[in-house]
A and B are shown apart, each in its own frame.
Chain A
Amino acid sequence: MTQTPTAALPRFIARINLRDAGTFFGLILIFAVFAVLNPVFLTSPNLINILQQSSINACIALGMTFVIISGGIDLSVGPAAAISAVVGATLMVAGVPIPLAVIGAIMTGMACGLFSGTLIAVAGLQPFIVTLGGLSLYRALSLIFTGGNPIFGIPPEFRQAINGLVFGVPVPVIIVTIIAVTLWVVLNRTPLGEYILAVGGNPEAARIAGVPVVRTKITVYVLSGGLAAVAALILTGRLGAADPTMGNLWELDAIAAAAIGGASLMGGKGSVVGTIMGAVILGGLRNGLTLMNVQAFYQLLATGIIIIVAMLIDRATRGKA
């Protein structure tokens, strides 16, 4: 009576996450519709284009996914990206070797995360409010530091590295792929991953079971800040400038990608693969609508509909399971 059908299936099928399969189905459906409507959509240059366009959001959304799984939220990713870009660009323009400048930018993003994470985990403040404060704070700092002007004069070597191709694949896509694989391993195959899922699922039970709750929470915000810096570096390389207004509303795209991919804002649930697919769904949607010359207003409309439909399907399928 309690025998589940999964036990009889081959292991690899049983191990596929049902929710991820649902996201994948949605992805295929949306891509199929565009493929029918526009012959250019499903060509490999365009698909690579979609991946490239999605990579920045995917990078931010991966950090966001970890924060959301831990039961929190990080609204400060956009400004954290901006301040990281400003620091990195300033270092590069000042003649600091590029690798050191990159490290400086990433450390800046991580410092932003450490700040939020400490306030949340140690002082016990609410993640929404703390990172809302961080959103204003980091934006203000980068505007004050630059006087509101973009920093130009990014070294061409850095720009070439970011805009280059490896085996025909854009460098940002490769960077984000490496990050995604690493984070998949972290979430599914390390103690930290178990801790994050436990802290998000039931913080008090996790604490009583000996999980280092404070350290785990701080880690996810530091990760989110660091990934915001990586996204900022990619955009700086592509634009050839570091804009202190960079990253406006990035947090919303990232939350959307994570939610479409199955992350629960209640904490304890989320998937790296799902979030990547969520980012590609959003990227593919924008790309497809642009190809069909649909006004930007309608693109926003479509994004909103997709998010809400995804949540409805999520609720309907979870209710049954």
Chain B
Amino acid sequence: MTNSASRLSLVGVTKEFPGIRALDDVSFDVRPGEVHGLLGENGAGKSTMLNILSAVFQATAGQIIIDGQPVTLNRPADARAAGIAMIHQELQHIPQLSVAQNLFLGRPLTKAGGLLVDRRAQERRARDLLADLDPRIDPRAPIHTLKVAQQQIVEIARALLDDARIIAMDEPTSSLTPSEFESLAALIARLAGRGVSVIYVSHKMDEVFRVCDRATILRDGKFIDTVDLAQTTEDQVVARMVGRDILQETHVSHARPKPVMQVEALSDGGFIRDASFTLHQGEVLGLAGLVGSGRTELLRLIAGIDPVSSGRVTLHGTAVNLRSPRHAIRAGIGLVPEERKKDGIVRDRPVSSNIALPCMSRFTRFGLLRRRKLHAESTALMQRMGMRPPDVTRAIGTFSGGNQQKAIIGRWLAADVDILLFDEPTRGIDIGAKSEIYDLIAQLAEAGKSIIVVSSEMPEIMRLSDRVMVMREGRIAAVLDGADISETAIAAYAIPKSAATDQLTPSMEAQQ
């Protein structure tokens, strides 16, 4: 495997934790100026690999060779010295400090013999560095005033400041809009052009195929293959990742003509204006639109989370009190939020407690919780939904994203709501669990639940929805039905006139 043309060679890298072998004899190499994807389901060993490269963990066995030199990575400083930089999913900087201050954090440029920080020199250096990456970023702006995409660019600048030869990116696009992704892709291409090797970890196949030259696939901690993406299809890669074929299910509608929920001229007094639509029994209504078009905000209004300024929601002909989530839930509306960690789970509590929160009265007799009933019902529920392992007494935080999502969906089944609102239901979930979530949503519709699914992934919208509602700048731009549903139609309604040009610029940049 090792050859002199490699920037980075991993030879037989193994990492053992008590009772588990997270990486098992993994070998692959990354060439100079190559964008190399690292693929695998959750738990396949991608994070462990990144943690070894950034010296958070030390490998149990194996060798890491950079530009022909074996390196020992014991401390994060070793990784930096070896020219490896990590761009984490959750960006690491101090929000109140300026861009320049963040760039030079921990290694300031000084004057007066090292006594004082030379802010002006830092800002000058930062401006030079950023001119290459994104000249719109002001080095003196507090970093929290920047968009997430720009904060990410600052992080990349920080890596370049360290003369990084290898930049590893962990799910870099999880909070980027499509146009921001295009800019990032262009930037990555430029980095590669300069000879920097990029290791790109993502769940999104289309991105990986768009950005990467080759990709290494891991499964259960083992090396499966390194593939040349130009000669491979997405389906082939996915099949190797999960170790089996994922069937492309066709969409079956369970929608019945009976209207269940009516949303009338709903507004939040600011961004969301005059949202009106009808949801039918057993229907899956896809909610498409760009990130920031108001999809999440609309769901939050209907779920009683944010205050409504005007308009109303009626369920089975009765107006729903939207004063609090508790009121909305009592009326029969439940939300599966996008940010599971922040809005969904109570991490340290058992799965069963997380399930019971909205419907505690069902598990209470004479004021006391019926733990046995709760345990039995939630275990049955989680077994039916395929939670692994189906141990509901364990803290929910110890489970994978897919299993956590099943518990949150289970919560609304236990509470027996009629309307389920899903916000990006498969974000951060590996491909195997993804298709299980799809099946679940279809089953719920078949059982007569009415469902709204917000998704930024076109294939997800196409696969799940009976009808597709498109939002643009806080308003409902269109509701598409039957043959009218197509990716081009959705995109046409989703992109605002002003942003259409913005959309084009970065991809033109990429071609230069």
Contact = CB atoms under 8 A, between A and B. Distances in A.
Interface of A: 1-4, 7, 185, 189-191, 193-195, 197-198, 201-202, 204-212, 268-269
Interface of chain B: mostly helix, strand, loop or mixed: mixed
Interface string B369-399: 1010000000000000000110100100000
A204 B360 CA distance: 18
A210 B326 contact: yes
Interface stretch (B348-356, B440-448, B494-502): B348-356
Contact of A208 (B20, B303, B347, B367): B303
Nearest to B370: A189
18 contacts: A4-B391, A7-B391, A185-B368, A189-B368, A190-B367, A191-B369, A194-B353, A194-B369, A197-B353, A201-B349, A205-B342, A208-B337, A208-B343, A209-B411, A210-B358, A210-B415, A211-B326, A269-B348
Contacts of A194: 349, 353, 356-357, 360, 369
A264 B151 CA distance: 33
Counting contact residues on chain B (CB < 8 A from A), the size range is 35 or more
A223 B325 CA distance: 26
A206 B347 CA distance: 11
Contact of A201 (B346, B368, B411): B346
B389 A202 contact: no
A108 to B, nearest CB: 26
A89 to B, nearest CB: 34
B338 to A, nearest CB: 11
Given A209-B354, A211-B326, 9 more contacts: A3-B389, A189-B368, A191-B360, A198-B346, A201-B349, A202-B345, A205-B343, A208-B344, A211-B358
Interface of chain A: mostly helix, strand, loop or mixed: helix
Nearest to B367: A190
A4 B398 CA distance: 12
Contact of B325 (A4, A7, A209, A269): A209
Nearest to B408: A209
B364 A212 contact: no
A207 B326 CA distance: 8
Interface of B: 19-20, 303, 305, 324-326, 329-330, 335, 337, 342-349, 353-354, 356-361, 364, 367-369, 371, 388-389, 391, 394, 411, 415
A194 B367 CA distance: 12
Contact of A212 (B326, B335, B367, B368): B326
Contacts of A2: 388-389
* A1, A185, A208 interface centre (most CB from chain B within 10 Å): A208
Contacts of A212: 326
Given A198-B353, A209-B357, A210-B358, A190 B368 contact: yes
A211 B357 contact: yes
B343 A190 contact: no
Contacts of A189: 368-369, 371
Nearest to B327: A210
A208 B335 contact: yes
* A190, A195, A198, A269 interface centre (most CB from chain B within 10 Å): A198
Nearest to A211: B357
A100 to B, nearest CB: 27
Contacts of B411: 209
A197 B349 contact: yes
B369 A190 contact: yes
A68 to B, nearest CB: 14
B309 to A, nearest CB: 20
A202 B346 contact: yes
Contacts of B389: 2-3
Contacts of B343: 204-205, 208
Nearest to B20: A1
B346 A197 contact: yes
